[in-house]
Amino acid sequence: MGNLIQSIPVYRPQQQQTPAANTPIPAQNAPLPLQGKPFQAIKNQFPQTQTYSYIPAKPLSDPHTTPKGVRPQPSKAKLVHENIFQAVGSTVKSYGDYAKYFYNAAFKGEGKDYNVGKINDLSIRAGSLGIAAVLATSKMFPFAKGMEFVGLGTWFASMAVWPHILGAPIKAFYGVDINQEYIDSEGRRKFVYEDNLYRPMDMYRYADLNGKPLSPEEYFKKYDKEYVYLDKMGDKLGVPRDIKNRNEAVMNRSAQVAVQGKTLWMLTAGVMTPVVSSIVADALQTPLKNHLEKSRYNKAEAKMQALDKKLDTVLKSGEKNVDRVMSALDIKINPKEQAAFDALFTEDNVLSPAQFEKLQNYIDDKFFGSGFKTALETAMKNGADMTDSKIFVDKELKDTLVKISSDSVRELVAKIPAELKSKFPESLFGYNGITSEQMNEIVASILATEGKSYDEGLRIARENTSIPFGYNAKNALMQSIAKKTLEPFTFDKIYDKDKKAPDYAPVNNFKSALKNKINEKVKAYFETKKCYVVDRNQMQKIFNFAYTNNELQNKLKEFERTSIQNISESMTAINWEKVPKKYLQTMGFNEGEIALLATQDATSASKVLSKKFSEIVNDTEKYKKVVSAMSEYAKTAISKEEKAVIQLLGTSDKKGTLIKVKELMESVAQDSLGYNVKDALARHYKLRMSEIHRKYRNTIDSYVRPIKALDLFKNIDVAVKNILTKDSYGNIQNNAADELYALAGMSEDRQKASLKKYLKDIILQKNDINSWTTKMETELPDSKKGLKHSLESVKRIANQVFAPLSGDTAAAINDAEFVKKCNINNQIMRATFLRIQNKLLAGYTTERNGFYHMIEDLITKEDDRFFKFNMISGAIEEKRLLFGEDYYNHAKNLLNRIFYDYKGVEITKDIQKELDELAQAIDFHYSNKAIAQRSGKNVTDFFINAAQESRARNKWLKLVYGLLGGTLALSALTIAFMGKENHFNKYKYEKINSLEGADK
Amino acid sequence: MVTVSTIQNNQANYAVSSSSLSAQAKSSIEQSFQTPKKKKHRQDGDNHSLSYYKNDIHKDELVQKNTLAKRIGINIEKTLDIPLIHFPRGLGGAPDYTFFEFLQTAKFPYYIGGPILAALFYAGAKKDNFRSAGAAQKVAKHMALGVGLYYLGAAVAKSIINNTVKISRGVDLKQPYAHYISKSSKKSGAFQKDVEFHTAFESADFTRTDLLYKEEGKTPEEINERYIEYGKKYGIKDDANNIDSTIKPLIKKTIVMARAWQYALTAFFVTLGVGMANQPAWDKASSEGFKKTVKEGIFGKGVNVKDRLHNAKVVVYDYMLKPFGQSFAEFWKGHGKGSSIAGKSVILASAAATLTAITLLLTKTSAKGHKLETTGNNNIKEVQR
């Protein structure tokens, strides 16, 4: 405890307990022994105060403990001098202490303000951790989850770090460490400058020049006077050296700086904590994301490979039994699901139609995807027998039959026209059919034919005892109900000569009509009572199969989710976050252009793009640089996805996991569920394969298209020339300008100019043929015939827009493999674009047919042979990546043979076989998809998205760094003014020996 | 020992080793040796308005009738003091700057940090197309709600404890008192205040039990009126002369326990609040609709009173209470396995902690659980039965 405070003469009750305080005062020398006396005795002792009931209080402590001459115990307080690791250690340790404080305070009510205050620190951290945990569980993906904790960590880190950042320059300039801590006599950690009015100077007595507390012995080995640290601090603070009580003056001046520093801290912490926290968290995002992407994919891949191995073993063994396949693949049915399945059966495995349908639906749900229902129904009915109705004498049966009787009568009576009513017995109107008692009688008489006495039957019926009817009961019931219903009436035959009755026949012969009606209803009722007797084992087999299929699909889907699917945090999604922004950077858009791209519509955006692209192609060096950089980014993005696709679909050498699953499931299905399910499965898996394939194609196209666009911009003149004269293959000799109706009648210059603009537009904008057509129309508004009237136009334009990359571009990319990939993509797009034009390709309605007929046409028809050849080649190329070189060579050979060797020959059986084979090899099932879905993102959208991302980020960076800079500047300014004389602080010092004149 | 402490004695009853309240101690010590300059004001002190405490007092006084209006007034006063007095004095390095003032300035980062963080998140979101703008707005809304419900959660935690203590022990932890700062101790002139508002029970070490005596009382019963009331609630039947010193340690214990639980419950309730703010229930009510209803439906021109009332009901029920209730249910239910467990455990843990806190406060602070012995030295030792 500081001397300063200790020197204040105050009344200090119970701080020091002198022995006298506890010694009872002897009675004989006590004129005022107030202690222990009853109230009345005290009153008597002070007769002058008798009139008051109020008695002056005794001072809180005994008069013997007057503080005169009492010295306080020496302070044990010590400055804290720690390096960073020690500081971290003691922080961690202190949380343990805080927990103890909490226990003592919360459960025992023990503690002081200090302890309770520390509980708050603990609780804030615990609460924040809770919040992060709750928010993390609400997030779907590991990165988002992780970021909650990163955010929490950076928040507390910046909260802890900021006072140290502020403190460093303050300490450097003024020698005052606003974060200086000490441990007080009771072992509690406190800040030296925590309370401005408490200035523990004493602690600096033996602190060395670095502020390290030493023992007096050690200290005096080094220095010859006390308070060297304060001396140094005073010099920095500018406290004159030759004044009286300089240490106190320094302590006071340092307190001023500390108050200023801590107030600045509080003023800025509210801004700096979130700002620094955001900046740090933002910086941590990329490494966290990269790490998670890698580890997630590797984990998923490892799982896939493990599955792959098991599949190999099973496939090799040729195992087709579901149960054994399941155990080989380590698939176990979840007991909950098995229980739910078991609950669908009755004890005797006899199911009502409704129950049977429920069972079907339950199993059907296990295969997701449609198209299984019919196949499954067939498979399940093979394992179930539809039996005759089982009828029990029970209340439901009786009530239903009574209702049938009354309903039938009512319905028929309603049909009798008013003028004919007189011809029917009056009691018929209002008649309600048979009664329950009559029903009981019917039941009794039927039971009588089954060997029971009539009375016993009647009792059974009345008591609703549920016993089964015999085999003939159905017919007997039908007959007797009709009979009983009609019993009370006799009908004459009615002849309605004018045939006024709307439903003449029933009125004509009411009796037989009623009989028919009742029979019809009873039959329908019994129909619903028919049952399925199911083969439990067969059903279990089907269920097991469905379950296995489901499990395998889930495993495949899980892999897809981390890799090729464009969902949060998948490999694809991360690529889409990163790569477009890099393209944007590479192309060197300035801020204004980015703002335009981000905020304007697609047309305006494509103008900005068009300008930029032209700018780049005009500068050869820049062009090379941009193309080479872009291709690098594209390569990484594509290769990641390619790896995942190969894992799923495989290559010609090695089947992918999805293909293996398909084969296994198909063979098992055929064995235990029949062809129907097998075919449904085959369709389903094929669809998934083509989905994956399409996804992959999309990715390549999206990233490659901007490169192709640059290439087209660079070679636009060549492209225009090719369109206007010959196509790139040089086969069509006639004047193209005549074929391109839209351009007809224009001057050559205008044709060129219009086409140039048009080509640039369509490579940058929407990938859809309608867009091409519309653009053509806006570009050439006078023409009555447009693009859609000329297959030749589409062909020529597509051939140029998706021409192979030019030599310049290929040289800039400098990677033959990747150039090949780009060109294949272009070739496929070219073919795709043409194929989608169903209107133009009349007759080729679906693709398979289209290809088959197209292949056939190569033999039989003369026209457009090269065009068709190119399209088929494109289709083969499209599969080449997937199925490898063997497939490619085989298909290409077939095509070449058909194209060159069989031209004009008669189609024999052998040739037919080859045609089939080729058509099968191409085998596209997904022709009716819009082209926008088949191709990747269009160039404009690609850059718009990137611009929006980057603009949001730029704005954010400006804001955050603006706040950071502003606050830092404000802090620096404030720090510069610290420790100076001001409104609150006037420095007046008394010089040492001022009378004698210390200066002399 | 039977003593009836006088107010004077109690005012001197300050140790200067205080880390947090030494300014008060100092000033009250000074005061205690000064003769009052004016005649006593508190003849019927129960109905003084806030301005009385701000202008007319010359020593520390308990604010009588602790009403909501007075507390709001005090809080406005205290809040305005932060930028107008405490920050300027702190930045100037006033020699008599107190720890209380530092704590007041510490509220500034506490209240602006959260909103700024939320605002920074929103600033970083992509807003240039409709879809992402919508998504960004949704996130921002949840964050803003999270910040709001965080502070609400903290307030609820405090109020649970305050009310428990007030009802069970009669001790109003929020009881404000006006701290008079003597002119003679004002060294730094401008920005200094005459009066600071504190709460009587804010410190367990230096509780202002001295202010709890009825100064103008004639008999011990009158002087110790408040202590006798506490005594009833604490379950102490003691001599009117004695009761104050019997109760003081119990009050101290109550304060420590209550504060510890306030902090602990805060951790639970802020988690609950943020968890609830993150639920989809809040998406249904649009913030635009809310603003419009308030601006045009309640405060707009030419709306009749019936419609205004109806709109007010809509605002309170449809925009606040209903989503509040739904979000609680959604938080309990969760959207997946993890969030379901998290929601349930946060809710159950909050409930359990609240119950524990109330139970402990009710049982452990009661005198019924203790045998109290008075020893010499005015020191009451607690003996477990």
> What is the secondary structure of A501-544 as a DSSP string?
STTHHHHHTHHHHHHHHHHHHHHHHHHHT-EEEE-HHHHHHHHH
pLDDT, tens digit, 9 for 90 and up, residues A892-923: 888 888 888 888 888 787 888 788 778 767 75
ipTM: 0.80
Q: Is it the case that residue A170 has pLDDT exceeding 90?
A: yes
> Is B355 part of the contact surface with chain A (CB cutoff 8 Å)?
no
Report yes or no: A633 and A865 within 8 Å, Cβ to Cβ: no
- Which SS3 state, helix, strand or coil, does residue A799 take? helix
Any A CB within 8 A of B209 CB: no
Asked if pLDDT for residue B105 goes beyond 90, the answer is yes
The answer to whether residue A438 scores a pLDDT higher than 80 is yes
Domain boundary assignment for chain B: 7-143+170-259
Report whether pLDDT(A70) > 50.
yes
Residues 119-178 of B with CB under 8 A from A: 120-121, 123-129, 132, 150
Instruction: Give yes or no for residue A781 having a pLDDT over 70.
Output: no
Mean pLDDT of A511-519: 82
Bridge partner list, B236? none
Encode pLDDT of B296-327 as tens digits: 877 877 778 888 888 888 888 888 888 889 88
Percent of chain A, pLDDT > 70?
Answer: 79
> Does the pLDDT of residue B29 top 60, yes or no?
no
Contact A263 B105 (CB under 8 A): yes
d(CA A381, CA A357): 11
Q: Answer with the residue of higher pLDDT: A390 or B364.
A: B364
Residue A549: pLDDT band (50, 70, 90) is: confident
**Which pLDDT value is given to residue A776?**
66
Of the partner residues A257, A263, A269, the one whose CB lies closest to the CB of residue B87: A263
Residues of A in contact with B189 (CB under 8 A): 983-984
Tens of pLDDT, residue by residue over B272-301, are 998 998 888 888 766 777 888 888 877 877
DSSP state of A71: P
Closest CA to A97 of A76, A121, A128: A121
* For residue A494, pLDDT beyond 50: yes
Mean confidence (pLDDT) of chain A: 78
A37 interaction partners in chain B (CB closer than 8 Å):
2
Question: What residues of chain B lie within 8 A of the CB of A949, using their CB?
Answer: 126
Which of A255 and A364 is assigned the larger pLDDT?
Answer: A255
What local confidence, expressed as pLDDT, does residue A971 receive? 94
Angle formed by the axes of helices B130-169 and B225-234, to 10°? 100
pLDDT for A779 equals: 62
The 10s digit of each residue's pLDDT in A785-811 is 556 666 667 777 877 888 888 888 899
Q: Do B17 and A15 touch (CB under 8 A)?
A: yes
Is residue B313 within 8 angstroms of chain A, CB to CB? no
| pLDDT grade for A391, boundaries at 50, 70 and 90 | confident
Shortest distance between the Cα of B57 and any Cα of chain A, in A, equals 24
Q: How confident is the model over A161-186, as a mean pLDDT?
A: 91
B241-251 residue pLDDT tens: 788 888 888 89
Alpha carbon separation from A724 to A745, A749, A842 (Å, rounded) = 13, 11, 25
Q: Do A10 and B14 touch (CB under 8 A)?
A: yes
The per-residue pLDDT for A880 is: 65
CA A820 to chain centre: 35
Q: Does B333 touch chain A (CB under 8 A)?
A: no
Residue listed under structure tokens 């993509």 = A825
Say if residue A967's pLDDT is above 90. Answer: yes
Instruction: Answer yes or no: do B338 and A137 touch at CB < 8 A.
Output: yes
pLDDT, tens digit (0-9, with 9 covering 90-100), for A225-255: 889 999 999 999 999 988 888 888 999 999 9
pLDDT tens for A3-23 read 444 444 444 444 334 444 444
Across the range A489-497, mean pLDDT stands at 64
Which tokens in the block code for residue B223? 């002087």
Closest CA to B287 of B148, B154, B176: B148
How far is CA A461 from its chain centroid? 63
Residue tagged 């039927």 (tokens): A446
**Nearest Cα residue in chain A from B189:** A984
Give DSSP secondary structure letters for A196-226: TT---GGGGTTB-TTS-B--HHHHHHH-SSS
Of residues A750 and A298, the one with the higher pLDDT is A298
B4 contact residues in A (CB cutoff 8 A): 54-55, 57
Query: What does the pLDDT look like over A98-119, one tens digit per residue?
Result: 999 999 999 988 888 888 888 9
Cβ <8 Å between A61 and B205:
no
Give the separation between CA A257 and CA A162, rounded to whole angstroms. Answer: 17
Please give the residue that has the higher pLDDT: either B352 or A538. B352
For residue A93, give every residue at least 6 positions away whose Cβ sits within 8 Å of its Cβ, in sequence order, or none.
none
Q: What is the pLDDT of residue B38?
A: 44
The overall average pLDDT reported for chain B is 78
Q: Measured between CB atoms, does B225 come within 8 Å of chain A? A: no
Distance CA A144, CA B278 (A): 14
Q: Please check the confidence at residue B346 and state whether its pLDDT lies above 90.
A: yes
- Which residues make beta-bridge pairs with B380? B374
**CA–CA gap between residue A176 and residue A251 (Å, rounded):** 10
Per-residue pLDDT averaged across B145-165, rounded?
92
Checking if the pLDDT of A647 tops 50, the result is yes
| Top-confidence residue, A367 or A924 | A367
Q: CB within 8 A of A405, min separation 6: which ones?
A: A433, A434, A481, A484, A485, A518
Cβ separation of A127 and B271 shorter than 8 Å?
A: yes
Q: Looking at residues A456-479, what average pLDDT do you find?
A: 76
Higher pLDDT: A740 or B279? It is B279
Output the pLDDT for position B160.
94
User: Global pTM?
Assistant: 0.68
Asked if A823 contacts A802 with a C-beta cutoff of 8 angstroms, the reply is no
* Average pLDDT value for residue range A501-523: 73
CB contacts of A258 in chain B (<8 Å) are: 93
Contact A631, A817 (CB under 8 A): no
- The shortest CB-CB distance from A274 to any of B116, B260, B275 is to B116
B263 and A61 within 8 Å at the Cβ level: the answer is: no
Q: Which of A197, A256, A278 to mutate to test the interface with B (most CBs of B within 10 A)?
A: A197
The pLDDT of residue A419: 72
pLDDT per position as a tens digit, A271-310: 998 898 888 888 888 888 888 888 888 888 899 899 999 8
pLDDT in tens, B200-226: 998 888 898 888 888 888 888 888 888
pLDDT level of residue A778 (50, 70, 90 thresholds): low
* Contact at CB, B93 and A959, closer than 8 angstroms: no
pLDDT at A929 over 80: no
Q: Do B95 and A256 touch (CB under 8 A)?
A: yes
pLDDT at B354: 95
Q: Using CB atoms, which residue from A116, A275, A599 is nearest to B260?
A: A116
The pLDDT, as a whole number, for residue A2 is 43
Q: What pLDDT, on a 0 to 100 scale, did the predictor assign at position A136?
A: 82
A446 contacts A479 by C-beta, under 8 angstroms: no
Which residue has 């008013």 as its token pair? A418
DSSP assignment letter at A108 = I
Which residue on chain B is closest to A950 by alpha carbon?
A: B126
Q: How far is A925 from chain B (nearest CA, A)?
A: 33
pLDDT of residue B8: 34
Contact yes or no for A114 and B19 at CB 8 A: yes
Lowest-confidence range among A338-352, A417-431, B176-190? Answer: B176-190
